[in-house]
């Protein structure tokens, strides 16, 4: 009926009166609501890199990158005020007119079409209410707290705090992080079009951050609002609307370093730093993080995994300093950290052949192996009580016969590694790896010689660093010191070192590991004019693929695989074909940005032999070439060394022909004779010539 009052408008008017009365009562009677303040500027956990430069500040649930108001583009400040709170500089924290206007507009529409919250009220919500259920009582409390904030602080201080805590979607809090995330620039460098775009997002960040067309439409509204408030001209607004925005999709400072920094937080918690220490006291943590190396690590790992065959969808990379164990970079996965926060760099994966250096080091340390010892690369089967015979195969299905330790390591021959593991006992191999720096549990079985146990990229990088230092182990170091907000040192972290191996056997192994890169399975890891030692690793079914390599100054471990731990098809999926390439790309870029002069590895006094020595064949328990009993528990003593015979008295066994198919269990009646098989001198001479010709082909 014309002229009849709209019941919804009457209800809205009554609601306005009730709100004002309620606020007055709350102000006078609920004094605890008045206890509100802006966050301390030193709130959060501050991280610094290895050059004492601030990386970022973390709060428990977000990255906090505070910037003073003077370092925020004026165009963004104006865009925000024109759109979110035009009377910001004039109201006392709440705006009754806006509340009434919003109530009336919503009443007319029959649903919410307009909000009445001021910037100050929104700040209170961000700081104190979060995702709490929106009730009348909560809104009333926020209004009272907004009035109190406005009473205590200057407007610009409130605006500055709001800009540092407002949400922009995509896990991004604060204007500095938003400017980096969307446009890869600082908040001070935003132009008018970019400012209007970001100011428009805060109204509905979850939706607008993922729907570009809606966000552009909202940007145009913001520009029109700025014209109405006389911040800009119509011409400037038109030009800004016509500007084609270029979205960089950049990561924030925390995301670049998320795996590393979250691991540091984990370490601090292990050392009994409380939540209050971490988040509320402005604690300053000085790390060993090299931000340049970290960015290179993330980029090269991501690019390498993208080019990898199907099935290799994830990876990890750890890089640390040989000198002091400082962890320079650690990337725990490929892709968005928010979607995949599991740190694969500190989680364990089957080591595969990357474990073999510890097998041969065990032999040299115990004296079971000599630098000129020869090992048979031939089929074998080993009886294990209650199980099927253990019959390891080489990756390529071929067998080379008698070869040197150097060649066995360079070409990653599985049968040789198992023979040595049997000779020194699996328990000894496990102890050697643990001394080097492996902290995960290692099963002392013969399969350990082929890396059947799981290790983390961090551990294996550190254990290889022990080799690079000549047998000196240093605990990996992420943190240099922790300070209070007033720069008082709370804790210093000095690397602890211990000599765990004799230097000479280590030097012999490192020298041989250079052959892995120069002419073995890791040739894709070669660096120009810089020595590299390393080892490839491929677990059963290529579920885990590795390359761990080091120069005299830096060790880097690279792992690849998938989170479901499924087998990966294809004979070319190995640590030497994929991970070695990623390693080479990372280290090449690393040395371009780090002016580190090439160093030299310490040369061994007695390098591992290049060619066959006919005296020092690897001694084995009786029947090693037939079926033998495995020292599964690792408690059997190592076999005694046989007395060396004169060269002209030693008979070489027949060379096993290359075998291109899988072997079953080798029977007791196999064709491999004992070491001292008698033969005629003429046949022996012919065999030696033939053997030397064949061996030179490899």
Please provide the DSSP assignment of 669-685 as one string. Answer: T-S---TT----HHHHH
pLDDT top residue among 635 and 346: 346
Instruction: State residue 215's pLDDT score.
Output: 97
Segment 412-417 shows an average pLDDT of 96
Whether residue 622 has pLDDT greater than 70? no
Sorting pLDDT into bands at 50, 70 and 90, what band is 642? very low
Q: Comparing C-alpha atoms, which of 558, 554, 516 is closest to residue 534?
A: 516
Angle at 587 between CA 495 and CA 323, to 5 degrees: 20
Sorting pLDDT into bands at 50, 70 and 90, what band is 398? very high
Instruction: State residue 661's pLDDT score.
Output: 26
DSSP β-ladder status, 497-499 and 327-331: unpaired
Segment 193-219 shows an average pLDDT of 96
Instruction: State residue 61's pLDDT score.
Output: 77
Whether residue 572 has pLDDT greater than 80? no
| Residue in the block written with tokens 């000549």 | 470
Q: At what angle do helices 74-84 and 192-201 cross, to 10 degrees?
A: 40
Across 85-99, 134-148, 434-448, least confident range: 134-148
The neighbour count for residue 310, using CB atoms within 10 Å, is 10
| 656: Cα within 13 Å, side-chain hemisphere | 23
Whether residue 657 has pLDDT greater than 50? no
pLDDT top residue among 140 and 228: 228
Whether residue 562 has pLDDT greater than 50? yes
How far is the C-alpha of 253 from the C-alpha of 290, rounded, in Å?
13
DSSP 353: G
Q: Is 612 within 8 Å of 557 (Cβ atoms)? A: no
Instruction: State residue 619's pLDDT score.
Output: 62
Instruction: State residue 16's pLDDT score.
Output: 59
Residue-wise DSSP of 114-178 = -----HHHHHHIIIIITT----HHHHHHHHHHHHHHHHHS-HHHHHHHHHHH-B-STT-BSHHHH
Sorting pLDDT into bands at 50, 70 and 90, what band is 665? very low
Segment 618-645 shows an average pLDDT of 33
Instruction: State residue 673's pLDDT score.
Output: 25
Residue-wise pLDDT tens digits, 349-370: 999 999 999 999 999 999 999 9
* Residue 17, phi-psi category: left (phi > 0), alpha (psi -120 to 50), beta (remainder): alpha
Q: Comparing C-alpha atoms, which of 213, 225, 254 is closest to residue 83?
A: 225
Q: Comparing C-alpha atoms, which of 81, 113, 95 is closest to residue 202?
A: 81
Residue-wise pLDDT tens digits, 489-547: 999 999 899 999 999 999 999 999 999 999 999 999 999 889 999 999 998 888 999 99
The structure's pTM equals: 0.78
Instruction: State residue 631's pLDDT score.
Output: 27
Residue-wise DSSP of 578-594 = IIHHHHHHHHHHHHHHS
How far is the C-alpha of 578 from the C-alpha of 295, rounded, in Å?
20
Sorting pLDDT into bands at 50, 70 and 90, what band is 273? very high
| Residue in the block written with tokens 């993208």 | 306
Instruction: State residue 117's pLDDT score.
Output: 86
Segment 445-468 shows an average pLDDT of 97
Whether residue 292 has pLDDT greater than 50? yes
Whether residue 324 has pLDDT greater than 50? yes
Segment 126-150 shows an average pLDDT of 77
Whether residue 372 has pLDDT greater than 90? yes
Instruction: State residue 688's pLDDT score.
Output: 40
Instruction: State residue 43's pLDDT score.
Output: 81
Whether residue 638 has pLDDT greater than 70? no
Whether residue 131 has pLDDT greater than 80? no
> What value does the mean pLDDT of the chain take?
83
| 511: Cα within 13 Å, side-chain hemisphere | 18
Q: Which domains does the chain have, with CATH numbers?
A: 7-35+66-253 (1.10.3810.10)
Percentage of the chain beyond pLDDT 70 is: 78
Q: Which two tokens stand for residue 417?
A: 């590694």
Across 152-166, 504-518, 640-654, least confident range: 640-654
Q: Which residues contact 270 (CB under 8 A, 6 or more apart)?
A: none
- Residue 640 phi, psi (nearest 5): -70, 150
DSSP β-ladder status, 472-474 and 349-350: unpaired
Sorting pLDDT into bands at 50, 70 and 90, what band is 62? confident
Instruction: State residue 112's pLDDT score.
Output: 47
pLDDT top residue among 197 and 612: 197
Instruction: State residue 134's pLDDT score.
Output: 60
Q: Is 55 within 8 Å of 289 (Cβ atoms)? A: yes
Percentage of the chain beyond pLDDT 90 is: 64
Q: Which residues contact 488 (CB under 8 A, 6 or more apart)?
A: none
Instruction: State residue 243's pLDDT score.
Output: 97
Sorting pLDDT into bands at 50, 70 and 90, what band is 451? very high
Sorting pLDDT into bands at 50, 70 and 90, what band is 49? very high
Segment 181-187 shows an average pLDDT of 94
Across 155-164, 270-279, 391-400, 633-642, least confident range: 633-642
pLDDT top residue among 189 and 643: 189
How far is the C-alpha of 126 from the C-alpha of 162, rounded, in Å?
8
Whether residue 51 has pLDDT greater than 70? yes
Give the distance from CA 408 to its chain's centroid.
32
Residue-wise pLDDT tens digits, 67-83: 999 999 999 999 999 99
Whether residue 27 has pLDDT greater than 60? no
């Amino acid at each position: 009926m014309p002229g009849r009052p709209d019941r919804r408008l009457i209800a809205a008017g009554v609601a306005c009166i009730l709100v004002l009365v309620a606020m007055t009562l709350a102000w006078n009677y609920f004094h605890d609501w008045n206890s509100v303040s802006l966050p301390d500027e030193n709130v959060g956990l501050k991280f610094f890199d290895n050059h004492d430069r601030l990386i970022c500040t973390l709060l428990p649930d977000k990255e906090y990158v505070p910037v003073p108001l003077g370092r925020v583009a004026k165009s963004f400040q104006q865009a925000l005020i024109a759109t979110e709170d035009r009377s910001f500089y004039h109201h006392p924290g709440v705006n009754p007119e806006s509340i009434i206007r919003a109530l009336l507009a919503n009443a007319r529409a029959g649903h919410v079409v307009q909000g009445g919250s001021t910037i100050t009220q929104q700040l209170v919500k961000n700081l104190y209410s979060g995702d709490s259920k929106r009730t009348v009582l909560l809104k009333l409390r926020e209004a009272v707290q907004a009035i109190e904030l406005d009473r205590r602080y200057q407007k610009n201080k409130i605006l500055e705090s709001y800009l540092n805590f407002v949400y922009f979607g995509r896990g991004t809090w604060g204007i500095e992080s938003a400017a980096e995330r969307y446009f890869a620039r600082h908040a001070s460098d935003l132009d008018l079009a970019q400012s209007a775009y970001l100011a428009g997002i805060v109204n509905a960040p979850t939706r607008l951050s993922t729907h570009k067309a809606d966000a552009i439409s909202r940007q145009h509204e913001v520009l029109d609002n700025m014209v109405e408030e006389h911040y800009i001209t119509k011409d400037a607004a038109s030009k800004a609307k016509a500007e084609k925005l270029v979205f960089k999709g950049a990561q924030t400072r925390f995301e670049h370093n998320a795996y590393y920094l979250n691991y540091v937080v984990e370490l601090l918690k292990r050392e009994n730093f409380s939540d209050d220490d971490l988040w509320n006291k402005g604690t300053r943590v000085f790390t060993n993080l090299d931000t340049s190396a970290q960015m290179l690590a993330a980029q090269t790992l991501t690019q390498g995994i993208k080019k990898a065959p199907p099935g290799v969808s994830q990876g990890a990379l750890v890089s640390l300093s040989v000198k002091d164990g400082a962890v320079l970079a650690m990337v725990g996965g490929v892709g968005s950290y928010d979607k995949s926060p599991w740190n694969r760099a500190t989680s364990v994966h089957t080591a595969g052949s990357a474990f073999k250096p510890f097998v041969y080091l065990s032999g040299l340390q115990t004296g079971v192996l000599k630098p000129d010892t020869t090992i048979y690369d031939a089929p074998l089967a080993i009886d294990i009580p209650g199980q099927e015979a253990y019959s390891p195969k080489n990756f390529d299905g071929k067998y080379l016969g008698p070869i040197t330790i150097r060649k066995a390591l360079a070409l990653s021959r599985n049968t040789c590694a198992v023979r040595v593991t049997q000779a020194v006992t699996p328990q000894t191999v496990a102890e050697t790896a643990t001394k080097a720096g492996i902290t995960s549990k290692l099963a002392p079985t013969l399969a350990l010689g082929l890396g059947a146990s799981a290790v983390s990229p961090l551990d294996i990088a550190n254990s290889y660093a022990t080799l690079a230092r000549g047998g000196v182990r240093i605990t990996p170091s992420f943190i240099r010191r922790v300070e209070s907000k007033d720069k008082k040192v709370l804790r210093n972290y000095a690397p602890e070192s211990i000599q765990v191996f004799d230097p000479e056997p280590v030097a012999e192994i490192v020298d041989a590991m250079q052959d892995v890169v120069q002419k073995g399975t890791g040739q894709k890891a070669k660096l120009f004019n810089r020595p590299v030692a390393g080892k490839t690793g491929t677990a059963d079914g290529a579920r885990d693929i590795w390359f761990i390599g080091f120069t005299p100054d830096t060790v880097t471990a690279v792992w690849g695989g998938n989170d479901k731990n499924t087998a990966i098809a294809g004979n070319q999926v190995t640590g030497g074909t994929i991970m070695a390439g990623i390693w080479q790309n990372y280290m090449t870029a690393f040395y371009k940005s780090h002016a580190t002069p090439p160093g030299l590895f310490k040369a061994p006094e007695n390098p591992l032999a290049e060619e066959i020595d006919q005296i020092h064949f690897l001694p084995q328990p009786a029947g090693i070439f037939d079926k033998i009993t495995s020292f599964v528990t690792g408690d059997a003593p190592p076999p005694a060394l046989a007395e060396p015979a004169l060269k002209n008295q030693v008979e070489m066994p027949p060379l096993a022909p290359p075998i291109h198919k899988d072997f079953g269990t080798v029977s007791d009646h196999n064709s491999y004779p004992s070491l001292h098989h008698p033969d005629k001198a003429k046949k022996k001479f012919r065999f030696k010539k033939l053997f030397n010709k064949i061996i030179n082909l490899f």
